[in-house]
Every structure is written in C-alpha cells, then in structure tokens.
Amino acid sequence: MKSSMLVIIGAALALSAAQAHGAEPADGEEIYASVCRNCHGPTGKGMASFPSLSGNDADYIGTRLTQYRAGETVGPNTPLMSPMAVDLSDEDIANLAAYISTEFQ
Amino acid sequence: MSQHVSVLSACALVASAVTFGMTSAAHAANTTSLTHTAVLSGLDNPWDMAFLPDGTMFYTEKCRGLSVRMPDGTVHALLGMKGTDDDFASTAEDLFCEGQAGMMGVAVDPDFEQNRQIFVYSTSDMTAPGTNRLMRMTVGDDFTSVADRTDIVDDVQYKPKATDHPFGGPGAHNGGRVRFGPDGYIYLTTGDTHNGEVPQSPTLIGSKVLRIDRDGNAAAENTPPEGFDPRTYTYGHRNVQGIAFHPTTNTPIVAEHGPWHSDEITVLVNGGNAGWDPRPNMAGRGDCPDNYCGYMPNQMEGMNRFERAAFMPMTDFDTYPDAMPPLWDNNGWSQGTSSAAFLTGEAWGDWENAMVVGIMGIGFGGTPIGQRIDVIQLSEDGTELVDVTEMTLPMEAGRFRSLVLGPDGALYASVDEGEIHKLAP
C-alpha cells in the first residue's frame, strides 16, 4: 500500500511537471476522441453508468487517471477505467487533463 | 500525438479487422441507403419515445423527465424529476435518477384519442429504499401538461447501494421498456438489480416481463409457474431493455443485455424461464462478491467470453432444461444490447418485417465496442434466425438506447449522447 502510494505521488509530481511544461489540449482532444468519448460522451457530460467529467480541474483528472493507471480501485467503474488508463504516458494524462478541464466546464 | 495513441489506433484497427472478419461470414451485404434527420439534439440521456398517429412524439430523458414534441416541432416539457426546478409544467419530487436508474420507458395508450392516457416507467423514492414504478397519466388537451398520476405498478426492485461488481453503483439493472402488445396488454420489462435472488424469485418482480392491464392488474391469460406473482409473463431475465412484437405472429421478442458475454434475442413463451440465475453456491459455482455471480469468474478483468459463458451462462440449460432458447447471442459478445423494434411497411424493401436491435457499445477486456443497429431477419413464423446485417448508418453511431418505428414508417433512434435521429428508407 505504502509503495503504491509512493508510485502515485511520484506520478502525480511527474504529471505536475508535465503540466508546468505546457500540456497540449489539442493532443488531449485526440486521445479523448479515441479512448474516452464512447463512454463519457462527446461533451463529457456522461452517459448511463459513465459519469460526467464536467467541472473537474486538471489536478483531479490527472490524479484519477494516475490512480487508474496504477491499478488502484477508485470506484465501481475501475475495471472499465483501468484498461483505458494503463498505457497512458504522463504526457498523455497531462494532455487529457488539460483538455477535459478546459473543454467540459 | 503520443506513441500511446498510435498504439491504441493500431489496436482499434486490428479489432475492427477481426470484427469484420468474424461478421462477414455471418452478416449479409448491406445494400440499403437511408436518409437521416436530426429530430432533437442537446437532450440529456434520452431513453425512450412513443408516437401518436399524427407524429406527436412523447420522449423521456433519464434525469430530466417527460416531454412531448409536437408535429410542428414545438416541445412542451410536461413532467420534471427531482432537481429540475420549474423547467417543466409540473414536477414529481419523488422521481430521481441514479446510475442506470431514472425515467425510462414511455408508451401511449392505443385508445389515446378517447382516454388521453400515457404510461411512464421511472425510479421513485416515495417509499424507502426506492422502487421503480409504472405511472399512468392523462395528457391535457393542449399537450402542455399531464395530470391524474396513478402508479399502477409500484413495487419493481431498485438497487439502493453500491456492491462489489463492475458497474456496481446504485441504480443498476432496472429493465425499463414499456410497450402495448397487439393483445391490448402492457408489457413491462424489469432487471435483476445485481441481486442474485431476483431472477428466479416467484415474488420479486425484477428480472421479469410483466403483462398487465391499464390498471396494473395481471393479464388473466398469464401462465407463470404456481406461486409466482400473477403479473409474470416470463421470468429469469437479466436486464431486458428491448421488446417488440412480431408483425405477423404478434409474438413478443426481447433483446437483452448479457453480462461480460452473450447478449440475447429471445422469443418469449407465456410462463417461460429465460434461464438467468446468478445465485452463488449453485450450478458448480462457489461464493461470489455480494452474493451475485453475474460477472464471474474474474469479474474485474477480461477473459475468453466462451469460458465465462460456460461458468455463468446467460441461459442455463443444465439447471433449467426447459428455458427459452435464445435466437441469437451476438456471437458470444456483450456489447450493450438495449432496444428492439420491427421495420414494417413496403418502403423497407428486403428489410420489411425485420427486427432492428440497438447496441450501445461496451469496450471491456478486448470486446469490440460495437455501437450499431443490427437488422435481424427472422423466418416467416418468427421462430428462427435467418440473417443478421449491420445497418449502414447515414450518421455517426452512438449509444443506441431506444428504437421506435414512427407513424410515418421511419425508424427513430435515440442515443445517450443526446440526440433523437430519424432514419428513413
């Protein structure tokens, strides 16, 4: 547990660094369209069991994706989210977080 | 673009190729050309539609409520749910949404011209811990209001708390489709609420297809097993969201979500068992998370769908040899099969009297997402599968929640993304 927390904290720090160096919402949009859109919808407002992404800041999105990528159980949709996040790079997460937090307010 | 996206895209291409390779053997060539009109957009999870002969369209939004679109395009918001403030002509504060639950099916009384009645299925917290209810209401003369709400079914199970399952949040598996049959009765489909006891229970009315009259009384012709709730037409379902009636035989046919495998289309038999029984410690299974084996084994990770089906069958013929056999199991995939309708009228050409099924898409564990409308061609007597064709869509695919044939002969399709489309041959 302790080691996984350290991994998450480390990843979150790396993510913050990536954001600080300028995340690319346009690249995030491309990932969103190919990976996220089918469940969260074209405007991120969520559908059926898939939650809305609206109103979340980049830190929240980035932290959640990092947790999913690390295999942490976050909620009942974890088995659906983890496979989506497992191959995301820090840069991908930063770009996605930038896109979602700016586009879906 | 990062390397990751390239890899994902490549995977998607491979998946598409595999899907195409698999389906090309089973699906006929699609030679039709449909026209598309966006009827409504910007909606919030539109769930179902019901038409009057002049094209007036009632529709539900899962977390908003009931509205009607008049033939001239005017929309009247009729009955709002909790949290919609004064956006609707009236608000029912007991109606709420949570997860998959909320306002779902809607049906118009065949005698609407005389009695102005409509029927709407929704989740309610009027009684703890919440139930799903079928409400009868009267539509005002000018179509700007509804009144005289009577809950003719008030005891369909609702899942109030999260459990340790995929999609395990509250509100799971409510069924939700409401249709009048050619016999004049109302057919209401319900779901298992992630409760292993519900599907085969004689008294819990989740996981059933109910057949009732306009007051909610059981149809006298229902023949469920002894001791069952007399409203039961069929039982042992998982989560039926599609029901339609064969245009020449009038037989009800359902389209049903599978678990991590086996969406099914099944011809119903009065009193029949659909064979879903996710209880633990039976049929060779041991304990399961929160006493529900519905996604087992290995419920949180992908695995071979046929191995899953052998462990937790959608239709368990070993335990229930007389279960109603499915006509089609979606090649063993579970992709979110939701709704069903029949294409009637000569304009549909070779597809006249074919069944259409809406598939919402679920990407999990290597399953192709599969958002589409399938055209299911049946034998003349409606008892055998002849062919399955994926409809070539004149617009982008989406989470096809509801399919309804309009009075103009066109197919109306709602998607969770917020649109109601019209597809005309």
Fold topology of A2-103: Cytochrome Bc1 Complex; Chain D, domain 2 (1.10.760)
* Adjacent-strand bridge partners of B189: B209
Residue B77 near residue B90 (C-beta atoms within 8 A): no
Residue B333 in tokens = 């995939």
| A27 φ/ψ angles, rounded to the nearest 5 degrees | -70, -35
> Taking residues B163-189, what's their average pLDDT?
96
Distance from the Cα of A93 to chain B's closest Cα (Å) equals 11
CB contact under 8 A, A88 and B416: no
Q: What one-character-per-residue DSSP string does B322-333 give?
A: TSPPEEE-GGG-
Q: Any idea what DSSP says for residue B51?
A: E
Please list, in sequence order, all residues whose beta carbon lies within 8 angstroms of the beta carbon of residue B95, skipping any fewer than 6 positions away: B65, B79, B81, B82, B102, B103, B122, B123, B124
Q: Is the pLDDT of residue A7 over 60?
A: no
Residue B54: how many other CB atoms lie within 10 Å: 9
Q: pLDDT tens digits for B136-160?
A: 999 999 999 999 999 999 999 999 9
Residues of chain B contacting A, Cβ within 8 Å: 1-5, 7-9, 12, 44-45, 62, 99-100, 162-163, 165-169, 172, 299-302, 360-361, 363-365, 369, 371, 399, 416-418
B79 in Cβ contact with B65 (< 8 Å): yes
Cα–Cα distance for residue pair B96/B116, rounded to 1 Å: 25
Higher pLDDT, B392 or B11: B392
Q: Does A39 touch chain B (CB under 8 A)?
A: yes
Give the relative orientation of helices A78-85 and A58-69 as an angle to the nearest 10 degrees. Answer: 90
Q: Is the pLDDT of residue B213 over 70?
A: yes
The tens digit of pLDDT for each residue in B261-318 reads: 999 999 999 999 999 999 999 999 999 999 999 999 988 888 899 999 999 999 999 9
What's the whole-number average pLDDT of chain B? 92
The answer on pLDDT for B401 being more than 50 is yes
Contact with chain B for residue A21, Cβ under 8 A: no
pLDDT of residue B20: 31
Q: What is the pLDDT of residues B125-139, one digit of tens each?
A: 999 999 999 999 999
Chain A residues close to B2, C-beta within 8 Å: 27, 31, 89, 91-92, 95
Measured in angstroms, the CA of A57 and the nearest CA of chain B are apart by 22
Nearest residue in chain B measured CA to CA from A47: B416
3-class state of residue B278 by DSSP? coil
Tell me, rounded to whole angstroms, the distance of Cα B118 from its chain centroid: 19
Query: How many angstroms away from the CA of A42 is the closest CA of chain B?
Result: 7
**C-alpha dihedral (B88, B90, B96, B99), degrees to nearest 10:** -30
Name the helix (H) or strand (E) containing B306: helix B305-311
Which chain A positions have a beta carbon within 8 Å of B123's beta carbon?
none
Distance CA B119, CA B136 (A): 5
- Mean pLDDT (chain A) is 81
Cβ contact, residue pair A42, B417, below 8 Å: yes
Which pair of tokens denotes residue A54? 């609206």
Topology, domain B38-332: Neuraminidase (2.120.10)
Q: What is the mean pLDDT of residues A30-51?
A: 87
Report the residue of chain A nearest B298, measured CA to CA. A79
Is a pLDDT exceeding 60 seen at residue A9?
no
Q: Are the beta carbons of A48 and B300 separated by less than 8 Å?
A: no
Tell me how far the alpha carbon of residue B59 is from its chain's centroid: 15
pTM for this prediction? 0.88
Size of interface A-B (CB pairs under 8 A): 79
Chain A closest-CA separation from residue B214 CA (Å) = 29
Q: How confident is the model at residue B32 (pLDDT cuts 50, 70, 90)?
A: low
Residue B16 to residue B36: CA distance in whole angstroms = 25
The pLDDT-based confidence of B222 (bands split at 50, 70, 90) is: very high
* Prediction ipTM score: 0.72
**Consecutive H or E run containing B11:** helix B3-26
